[in-house]
Chains A and B, each alone.
Chain A
């Protein structure tokens, strides 16, 4: 009887304490893997990344060229936003594999608040009229144009056509990043679900910044020189 009580006690209390440990560790740092080719050639499929979350808590301003991990806007997931269900919340907090998971993306920050963004087919990305020198990290030049908000759109993860700004009155306005948002792109420009499809990302959806790749090889992620 004493053994049974001990086993039950250790299992229940041990599980709770392990959850607390996991949540505590994930307050500072989080490990994730890349399931897609969207960040080639910087990161390959199945690369394991360490994401630091401290700067996000401290509300440090984002820097152009940083790679961030974030929850995509609801439009990318057919309107489905982050779930408030207890199991999903626990999954977000602990990352335990048997709990439900919500998709997150890793992309490079290109447009900061108040930046004006333009993309020219075959040439590259223009920020405030200046072409970015992205030779050090992109796979190839974009094969699409982006001049006004109405140009943003395409097929989302579920292959549904989305136009996040298509119905808005200011759809013909140039692409200017709002104060609390970011314009993000994958390094594999023509094979990436990013801001050229789902639009700008609110900063409160950012999980953290990629600090190192720890598998298959260790690499500290440096900021590109523009």
Chain B
């Protein structure tokens, strides 16, 4: 069970939280941006190569390539989240962190799949449950990587941790949605801010200081 810090919500505040998150993005933007790029590039290349190797499997090659992309992406996403956690702690950040998530790849894949199934089912049921789940489960990746938890526990922990903090996670996701829909070429800035603000929120809930 995750221990939730007793910090008063007032001390945290939207302005402080987003301000610190943006300051971290400004300081480490190149590292974070290239890390997301490497994550996407490697997963696309891996999927593309598998697609090419099984080109004669007529349609099945697309399915196999999609699975490979998800596996590679999950492994690198775990590394990327570790990188975000280190960045928020102002620890020494190393490129190899990006590739240190291999041991989490299976759990990350399962957790991501469960998350999407839950969100889609929630949306089908009555829209609102899906939106609530997408907010309350948004810290699962950080829990999984930071606490070496398994897929289901990380989702449950995220749900519990965000009790009372859901509005912060909602703002983070709205920032991401704005970035991916109307921000055009500013999309990467919104994406990084969303990732780092979620990371900062996780740190705050766990009672750890976010250092800029």
Contact = CB atoms under 8 A, between A and B. Distances in A.
B26 A6 contact: yes
Nearest to A1: B26
Given A14-B185, A212-B62, A27 B25 contact: no
A9 B30 contact: yes
- A interface, over-half SS: helix
Given A2-B26, A14-B188, A28 B51 contact: yes
Contact of B34 (A15, A17, A29): A17
B30 A13 contact: yes
A5 B29 CA distance: 10
A54 B185 contact: no
B150 interface: no
Contacts of A3: 22, 26
Contacts, number: 73
B51 A14 contact: no
Interface residues of B, number: 27
A52 interface: yes
Contact of B59 (A7, A9, A55, A211): A211
Nearest to A12: B185
A161 interface: no
B52 A28 contact: yes
B186 to A, nearest CB: 6
Contacts of A13: 30, 33-34
Nearest to A7: B189
B95 interface: no
Given A10-B189, A11-B189, A211-B59, A21 B30 contact: no
Interface of B: 22, 25-27, 29-30, 33-34, 37, 40-41, 44-45, 47-48, 51-52, 55, 58-59, 62, 185-189, 192
